[in-house]
Structure 1
Amino acid sequence: MSSHFNYQINYGAATTAAPAPARVDPAAPLYASEDGVVASLSNNECIFQVKRSGETHVMTFQVLQALDQVREFRSLDEHVSRILATVPGLNVQRDDVARVLDSLIKRRLLVSDRSFLERAGAAVDREPAPLRAVFIRACDRPDQAAHLLASLADNERRHRANRHYVLIDDSTSRDAANRHRDLLREFARATGCKLTYIGSAERERLIEKLARAVPQAAAHLPALVGAGERGRFGGGRGWNLALLLSAGARAVLLDDDHRLPLRRLEDARDGLDPNPAGTATTRFYRNIENALGAGEEVDEDPFELHLAVAGHPLGAAVGRQRYAIDPQALRGLTLSRLDHLHGDAPVLATHHGAYGSSRSESGQWLYHLSAEDRAEFTRDRDSYLRNVEVGSIWYGYRQARATGVATFTPFALDNSVMLPCTNPLGRGEDALFSRVTELCHTGALMFELPVAVGHVQETQRRRSSVTLAAHTPRFNYFVADFIRTRLPEFSADDPAQRLGLLAAHLRDVAGASEQGRVRQLQEYLAYARADLIERLQGQYDNAPDAPIYWQADVRSIIEANGRSLITPGVPRLADWPENIDGAGCAERLRAETSELAGFFEAWPALWNYAREQGERLLGAV
């Protein structure tokens, strides 16, 4: 245990004038205090245990109060001025406070920006797993796939990477499947790249092979990775199959409505933004053609750009100039908000924004834009009515960032450690995958690059009707929020064991009485809608000068969600039929949580077998 602090800050009647505010020196080093747990020793002293290191220190309560005032990264002069200005009845000189802060620095309770950045950049890089293939999920949209393959062919001619491409076809139309095969043959002739097509027949062969090798998972395989069902969105099936075929390696994941090149905004900048609350940038365009030409084309090979990060520790990325953290970017942040930025944290997935069509089915997120983006969103009534449908936008970040979870489909994946499966059915499979990955791999990161991929849907969608209605999440978001808000912290280190614990909790939900399941759905919907109301009310109150048509729509969304709280009705999730009753909702919750639990229980054995097979499994198609 450390020895006592010898400095005492005395409190009494204030006899001096309030100190002048400190001048902010942009060149001065910044300091922030460590987080810790406090236990009282006496009326005057306490034990402070540092959360990060476990070190303990004995100090007076007055020193502890000073430590609490310097939690944000700021210069020493700023910290001294804050303590003198905020602690009532303080009767000391600036030099006395400065000596206390100096003692805290020597005991490593005040961390400098340089020390923090050394911590974030300290990692031993390793040779990442090889890239297995670029996997493309396709489903009944050959025209979209044609655009994607044409852009990939252009990229191959430019960079001559000669990668392996695998098209996972979830089409229910025979004509669409035949067209996909023709497109792949044309792509192979144009590029010389290795191509693999996986349709319904190829899936059946893989399912039979996996079922023989892992018989305990056989009952789950048709739903987990099997062919598509007409009328039900099942993007998670192709996702799960790509994870098995790339087990033990790295992979890139594309959808058929994507297209290259990657693009960046003109004001994008190097470096990594350490602020976990950093917001994305949204820009709006008159039509899809204008959106597709927005920003600047990225000259580099898009795959190498992402693979330079995916599969490496964070420290290897921030150690390079492209993703270095500017010390001044730490200003105002506390160490507790930067816990995720440790150098040896593995980057398991990389993400990027999108230009063209929106990737969301609702536009409620538009009413949480920054003031700058809101001004463009609401520039005039005609453009506002066009923008609410979110059909022609650029969405992404100006600067790279690292987070524990992400919302949209990743680009590059490090599947050398077991990545979990996602729900094969329903939208929101990407958000669920991200949340379960965070659960399985504590401290691992998703890395967002300040670039965007083209995204062009087959038809323009009207989103305003969903936007203005009461917020009704889908089942996959229900599970993701259940993990985030209801699950305790797991102690197990093994990701397979953690996945099993998640399955047990889902079975616990399924095992509740019908009344209990209805109540859980009611509580969840009330939470989701009340949270939305609170956030929208804050936006409304902070934008008194926003156009009246924006204000009217915000009020409409608040009122729609408020009515659903007062008269909740049937606790239906968005995937379920509109005419379902309460008993039907309870049964759907039981069936779908049980099925998902079964997938999670079967997955580790499937993934381990696929890893042992390696390239042979993909070659067996």
Structure 2
Amino acid sequence: MADNYNISYSYQTGPATTPAPAVNPADNELITFTNCERVDLGNGGVLLLNRDNGKQMTISPEVATALTYCNTFKTLQEHANTLISTIPQLQGQLEDVTKVLNMVKDAGLMLSAQSICDRLSPDPIPAAELAPTRVCIITCDRPAAVERLLDSMLRAGSLSRHDELLLVDDSRDPANGEQNRELIAKFNLSSPKNMHYVGAAEQHKLLQQLIAAIPEHEAAIRFLIDRERWAQQKSYGLARTMCLLLSVDYRCIVLDDDVLCSTVMPPNRGDGITFGKGSNRELACYASEHELFQNAQFSDTDPLSGHAQCLGMNLSQAITQLDAGGINQTTLHNTGATMLDTLQADSPILVTQCGSWGDPGTTGTNWFIGLDPKSIVRVLAAPGGLPGTLDNRHYWLGRNNPDISKMAVMSQVTGLDNSQLLPPYFPIFRGEDYLFASMVVCLHPSAAVVDYNWCVPHLPLEQRGGRNAAREPIAAQIGLASCARYLTDRTDFEMGVAPETRLQKLALQLQELSQRKAGSLLATLRNGLALEHADQLRQLSQQLQQAPELGSQDWETYLQRGVENVSGALQTPTNVLDIPGVPAQLTEEELLMKFKTVMGEFSTALAAWPAIREAAATITGTMLECGDLAP
């Protein structure tokens, strides 16, 4: 096989001269091409080295490129059909393509779905010991929402099973903070488990005690949790980092204040589990809040117990918990191999998430371009069609099946296994959840995320929607999500490196960014945004190809406008001053210098984070015991 580098598909442009090979009905093994290193031999050949089994094969560059299209689990015949329909030069060459794929498979360069099933479901595997749970509510100037949530928690029950209940109050108006404190005191009169109040004074006390315990890390502590430092900014991540400091060595369940403590099952519930669906959740649409409630399928499970179900388990345990029948190769059909190849039976479930029932929680609508065909059909059939659905925001947005993936996405209730080393959140700006998710992958490359197939009611009290959302820009903008991609693209998936070592490496990566010259930094930001735009353009093009089958001019117009918007963004140099939240008076040079400074500070905070966590575990324990967090 080593000398067979002239394998070719005999690219021909005319009709097929040979018949398609007969398909053996029994040949239904699902395979994929993955985890192979490519070495250019300089003599017209390419050496492929399989990193998992040590197998190797020399082939032509054309074959090596074509194999990259075989990156999901399919039958060999399905892969062959994909190649001849995707690569114009291969049309009419089904027999030749099938023959070469068989040679690659026989050489040991293909990964079978059954081998993944065997690896993830060994019998037996020791059960992971689960840490106790703490529940944190985060709020900012919404006492009416807090009162509604607390009432729903009392009705949900099962509160006494959690180690602690805490409200982390980021309110800027002291009157709202005082009202929240009173609501907690009232809640405690009826609750079987008292809730603690962590407002401005309590957070400042924790800040001061951390500085006193580890004064060498004062700058890092202030960057992460000093409310005065970020008083003029929306500090979404600061409150979440506070939750982590209050729950070191525990599993932490974090709730937004505008949810209800209940769960809604999917309207089109599926069987079994799925893998690697990522951010592409399913969508069902309703014309009004009345119709939303009329069609709701509420569950007896409260979201706190629901999140604790799999949080902290190993993957094998979680699979058994979510699907007693286990998985087989059919479960993995069309699933991406890259993600699955990083998972093991003992991969920890470090993050759990769920869907949204009501308002989706995100201000943008560009996620519509990633919807699956069935969801798009439901959007177009809903009253008001696409424009009405984009504006009214009465959705069920979640999973029909529990899904296991690598990267967490936005969730109004999130489970975090903080008994493991998790990173802090970036204190300000939107996109803090994406950056956090990317850093979790960097620290724990074999870990997994469970996205449950139920939603929590997310019903903001303030009016949202009605903004002619169909006309909103679709092209991505620079933000924390861009930084998340930068880190994810540089993740080292080699096993055996300790999370503490990976955290220091992550800190050094951000330090390196902070030390670059402004021009180099700007080029990096623009390159990252161009990659995001290229991904969007790919999604839009795929949707446009399928759009005529749906018979909706509104949908085609929306997609075409998206193509024009994203294509225009790709042709125009990125203006970093367009980043949401940037002060209008800043120049480009000033903004880049500010970015460098903040990245350097965050790098310092990451390096100090293990020491901050350790000190916080002791300090918060003492504050709880002494009643310092009583309302």
Q: TM-score, normalised by structure 2?
A: 0.82
1:489-508 correspondence to structure 2 within 5 Å? 489=492, 493-508=497-512
The answer on 1:151 being equivalent to 2:152 is yes
Q: Which runs of 5+ in 2 are unaligned?
A: 11-16, 84-89
Distance in structure 1 (CA, Å) of the matches to 2:173 and 2:625 = 26
Return 365-374 or 452-461, whichever deviates more: 365-374
1:395-414 correspondence to structure 2 within 5 Å? 395-409=397-411, 411-414=414-417
The answer on 1:203 being equivalent to 2:207 is no
1:63-462 correspondence to structure 2 within 5 Å? 73=73, 104=106, 113-122=113-122, 124-156=125-157, 161=161, 164-227=164-227, 232-276=233-277, 279-292=280-293, 294-320=295-321, 322=323, 324-333=326-335, 335-336=337-338, 338-379=340-381, 382-389=384-391, 391-409=393-411, 411-462=414-465
Counterpart of 1:473 in 2: which secondary structure? coil
| Cα deviations by residue, 1:26-82 (Å, 9 ceiling, x for unpaired) | x966566775457799x9x998754224x4478999xx99x9799865668989999
Contact 2:146 2:180 in 1 (8 A): yes
User: Which residue in the other structure is 2:610 paired with?
Assistant: 604
Contact 1:248 1:415 in 2 (8 A): yes
Counterpart of 1:388 in 2: which secondary structure? helix
Change (3 A) 1:213 1:392: same
Post-superposition offset of 1:412:
1.4
Q: What one-letter code is carried by the residue in structure 2 that aligns with 1:290?
A: E
Match of 1:577 among 579, 583, 587: 583
1:20-99 correspondence to structure 2 within 5 Å? 21-22=22-23, 24=25, 30=30, 35-37=35-37, 49-53=49-53, 55-56=54-55, 73=73
User: Which residue in the other structure is 2:553 paired with?
Assistant: 548
Change (3 A) 1:435 1:563: same
Change (3 A) 1:524 1:58: closer
Change (3 A) 1:90 1:508: closer
User: Which residue in the other structure is 2:543 paired with?
Assistant: 539
Return 227-236 or 186-195, whichever deviates more: 227-236
Change (3 A) 1:59 1:443: same
Contact 1:70 1:79 in 2 (8 A): yes
Q: What one-letter code is carried by the residue in structure 2 that aligns with 1:253?
A: V
Change (3 A) 1:527 1:572: farther
Counterpart of 2:416 in 1: which secondary structure? strand
Q: What one-letter code is carried by the residue in structure 2 that aligns with 1:377?
A: V
Post-superposition offset of 1:155:
0.9
* Equivalences, count: 607
User: Which residue in the other structure is 1:468 paired with?
Assistant: 472
Q: What one-letter code is carried by the residue in structure 2 that aligns with 1:589?
A: F
Change (3 A) 1:381 1:288: closer
Post-superposition offset of 1:255:
1.1
Contact 1:271 1:326 in 2 (8 A): no
Q: What one-letter code is carried by the residue in structure 1 that aligns with 2:464?
A: R
Q: What one-letter code is carried by the residue in structure 2 that aligns with 1:174?
A: P
Distance in structure 1 (CA, Å) of the matches to 2:171 and 2:465 = 24
Q: TM-score, normalised by structure 1?
A: 0.83
Post-superposition offset of 1:227:
3.4
Counterpart of 1:539 in 2: which secondary structure? helix
Contact 1:292 1:355 in 2 (8 A): no
Counterpart of 1:254 in 2: which secondary structure? strand
Post-superposition offset of 1:277:
6.2
| Cα deviations by residue, 1:133-162 (Å, 9 ceiling, x for unpaired) | 1011011101111111111111116x8646
User: Which residue in the other structure is 2:86 paired with?
Assistant: none
Post-superposition offset of 1:205:
1.3
Post-superposition offset of 1:168:
0.6
Counterpart of 2:323 in 1: which secondary structure? helix
Distance in structure 2 (CA, Å) of the matches to 1:270 and 1:351 = 19
| Cα deviations by residue, 1:551-599 (Å, 9 ceiling, x for unpaired) | 3333444434444433655543112134543223223322322232232
Alpha-carbon RMSD: 4.4
